[in-house]
Amino acid sequence: MPELPEVETVRRGLDKWVSGRRIATVEVLHPRAIRRHMPGAEHFAGVLAGRRVGAVMRRGKYLWLPLDDEDALVGHLGMSGQLLMQPADAPDETHLRIRFTFDDDGPQLRFVDQRTFGGLAVSEGGAVLPAELAHIALDPVDPLFVDDAFVDRLRRRRTEVKRALLDQTLISGVGNIYADEALWRARLHGARDTSQLSRPSVRRLLGHVRDVLNEAIGQGGTSFDALYVNVNGESGYFDRSLNAYGREGLPCNRCGSPMRREAFMNRSSYSCPRCQPRPRLAPR
């Protein structure tokens, strides 16, 4: 699942290629791609035609394109969604779901999604912040993120620290990969009780979260396969810089101990058994 760095990379590409342009036509090629737009494909295409796109925005792992009528086009990439800029004469992608053309006859915007877990929808009055995204917390690279409030909220919770990092109502944009990377840097096991962490420890962890996300953004995100690419179809390369995620059995880059993999919420967590010892007691 794309996390904040991957979605931010796509946002920046869209902002460069789509902002300020006026949509001419919209072609919906698969109904699941707009399943969250309840009025259906015809309404989706009709309400977007003729609208000018503003500066592309993001909240956590969601994108939205503000429109000149105060509505917004909201998107989530899901597991395999891609928003690609393509010349009009480029062949259709195998899993092309939605096509946008613009009145300047420039590059098209195409939503491609192999697994169709992602999707687009129009949010009425959502140009500033779509109502559908209002429950999602700010992310730590947002200039409005308040560190002290996050520290206090996390310490009031009695849960495992990795679960807290993945809670999008507490802090958004952090997924499995970047949570493991930040916890490795902070020398914390993901099962540590948040209520037992000191304020300085939480601050250090937040700093590592922010550093990991910014470094990953700078490298275009993490691509383990061809499903995540930027708007130009290029893969990110932060996977070359990973210290924890996916490194089971490899030596820890800090102490040399073999990295371990543990089951976590139907996924996997990766950590160093020496640098990140398991807590004796799990949170109740």
Catalytic residue among 61, 99, 110, 247: 61
Catalytic residue among 16, 158, 267, 274: 267
Catalytic residue among 3, 6, 8, 160: 3
Instruction: Choose among 53, 102, 46: nearest CA to 75.
Output: 53
Concerning whether 284 is annotated as a catalytic residue, the answer is no
157 in a known ligand binding site: yes
One-letter amino acid identity for 265?
Answer: M
161 within 8 A of 179, measured Cβ to Cβ? no
Question: How many whole angstroms separate alpha carbon 168 and alpha carbon 184?
Answer: 21
One-letter amino acid identity for 132?
Answer: E
Question: How many whole angstroms separate alpha carbon 184 and alpha carbon 12?
Answer: 28
Kindly give the interhelix angle for 199-218 and 176-186, rounded to the nearest 10 degrees: 130
Question: How many whole angstroms separate alpha carbon 171 and alpha carbon 223?
Answer: 23
Concerning whether 267 is annotated as a catalytic residue, the answer is yes
Concerning whether 279 is annotated as a catalytic residue, the answer is no
115 in a known ligand binding site: yes
Concerning whether 16 is annotated as a catalytic residue, the answer is no
Rounded to 5°, angle at Cα 65 from 104 and 126 = 135
Annotated binding site for DNA: 95, 115, 157
Q: Which residues does the annotation place in the binding site? A: 95, 115, 157
Catalytic residues: 2-3, 61, 267
